[in-house]
Amino acid sequence: MASESTPLLHEGDQHGSSLPEVAHTTRSTFARRLNAKHAFVLITTIVIGSGVFSSPGPVDANVPSPGVALLVWLLGGFLAWTGALTMAELGTAIPGEGGIQPYLSHIYGEVWGFLAGWSWIVATMPATLAILSIVFVESVYSAFGWDSARDGLAQKGWSVLVLVIVTIANSISTKTSTRLGDFFVVIKFSTIFLLILSGLTVLGVFVAQHGRDLGGGDWYKKRWFAARDSVLPDGRLVDWSEVGAWELLGFFSTALYASLWSFSGWDKANYVAAELRNPSKQLPLSVNTAIPTIILCYLAANTVYYILLPWNVVSVTDAAAVTAISHFLGQGPAFFATILICLVIAGSALGNSFVAGRMTVAAANKRWLPGFLGSVGEIGRWKVSSGAVDAENSDEDEGAASEAANEAMDKGEAPINALVLNTLLSSLYILLGNMRILLTLNGLSEYSFFFLTVTGAIILRFREPDLHRPIKPPLVVPVLFALISGFVVVRGALFAPVQAAVLVGVWAVGFVWWAVRVHGIERLRSE
């Protein structure tokens, strides 16, 4: 049976967009007032975020040519598309909309739902926040022309400071976080529009003035699919003529993880189903229009990077948008672009911190984590507001404690203890890793469970053929996602054994925690 408790992975996105709260089993169902246009806007808002400004470098460094890099972006979008349709099937068929935790619990058993939530809280979300903080600082360094590689320790310190500021902002008030989210959405789309306009300007001048180039020059001098030596951030060159097929697939997997980071949030498409007037028709329509639109935006933005910059610059930067604008317009306008992009990144970090806090509270209220992490409006045991909720010392049952915490957060109280935990974990990732290492860790963490979830959807087609499925894409859709994502996870893990080992360690600790705490508590209750 599906779990009837509140799913952990039920709000927010990888890019910081605030989502309207959707119905779950412990709260009232929202009125069905949205149409396909509303869903289209919401999905594009969720998915488009900071990744398109920061991931081009990691993608380019791991492929032989710009043309192949664009194909990687296309494949990332294809995976997002097939995955979103499959998640829509599960989200409308299994109670507990809004996350893979109830789907995994329904298909494989509750321990798998727990491990998904554990992995998101301990690995995926902290890695996400660490990446965003690093990219924020990297963008500032790029705008001023500073060498971040020579200033590694200081850069990490600044990244931790950015993370702390975001945590403080989320600790002030939940309402403040959601209001800021609306502002960051406008900034996000404005920045992408200005970036694409810059590329169109270069093309227009080139045509109108008979070959005058305002960009990087390589875009019209070199062949887009011709292999060239890639420059890595540490200065090493990759001679693609000497790279074997198996190793090439490893590079390719790493590039795809960087691309998938930018498409993160596609799994949230089914969240709008609870408020659509006719979800069986409107949700597929919105997914089948929003995801292709996003793919086109990403392809256009990445094409602009290759137009504005010399190609040997793209692979070494972790702030492609700022670097491109600096090269095109000079340092002055680049400062303005940096402000816009940093606002987008800050919005993403704010939203992800917001989500991570709520996920931690939900886990604590399910007795999956220590109870004080489910408290709201408290620092440790010290109540900082009259609306504070102490989950651990509450006499309420699990569902009532979760409801009380949700109501307190809806009224503006912040889950400070949970936010502090997320900040400490994220700071650890910042200090021990870098953006590109964390991108692979994040991708492995997410897509391991996405693979399990979509594979489970295929299993359910045969195990429960009579399950009511308002949305049922052709079987080839989840099969393609499972085949590609499964291969990418396995090859990516072999190519990045350190990140894979860290993730396996996280899962092992989680399983032990489940056996000792969660399973032990359930056994005591039954006695």
Most confident listed range (25-29, 138-142, 418-422, 472-476)? 472-476
More confident residue, 230 or 498: 498
pLDDT per residue over 4-19, tens digit each? 334 555 444 444 343 3
| Lowest-confidence segment of 33-42, 382-391, 456-465, 500-509 by average pLDDT | 382-391
CA distance 117 to 453: 13
CA distance 439 to 442: 5
pTM for the whole structure: 0.84
Residue 139 confidence (pLDDT) above 80: yes
In degrees and rounded to multiples of 5, residue 238 shows phi and psi of: -105, 115
Mean pLDDT computed over 478-492: 94
Structure-block tokens of residue 311: 């190609």
Q: What is the pLDDT of residue 20?
A: 35
More confident residue, 40 or 198: 198
User: Do residues 186 and 16 lie in contact, with contact meaning Cβ atoms separated by under 8 Å?
Assistant: no
Residue 454 confidence (pLDDT) above 60: yes
User: Do residues 237 and 231 lie in contact, with contact meaning Cβ atoms separated by under 8 Å?
Assistant: yes
Residue 185 confidence (pLDDT) above 70: no
Mean pLDDT computed over 234-258: 88
CA distance 341 to 331: 15
CA distance 514 to 508: 10
Residue 338 confidence (pLDDT) above 60: yes
Most confident listed range (11-25, 43-57, 155-169)? 155-169
Residue 198 confidence (pLDDT) above 70: yes
User: Do residues 136 and 162 lie in contact, with contact meaning Cβ atoms separated by under 8 Å?
Assistant: yes
Closest CA to 6 of 25, 33, 29: 25
Residue 305 confidence (pLDDT) above 60: yes
- Reported confidence tier of residue 38, pLDDT bands at 50, 70, 90: confident
Query: Where do the domains of the chain lie, and which CATH numbers do they carry?
Result: 36-356+434-526 (1.20.1740.10)
Bridge partners for 231 per DSSP = 237
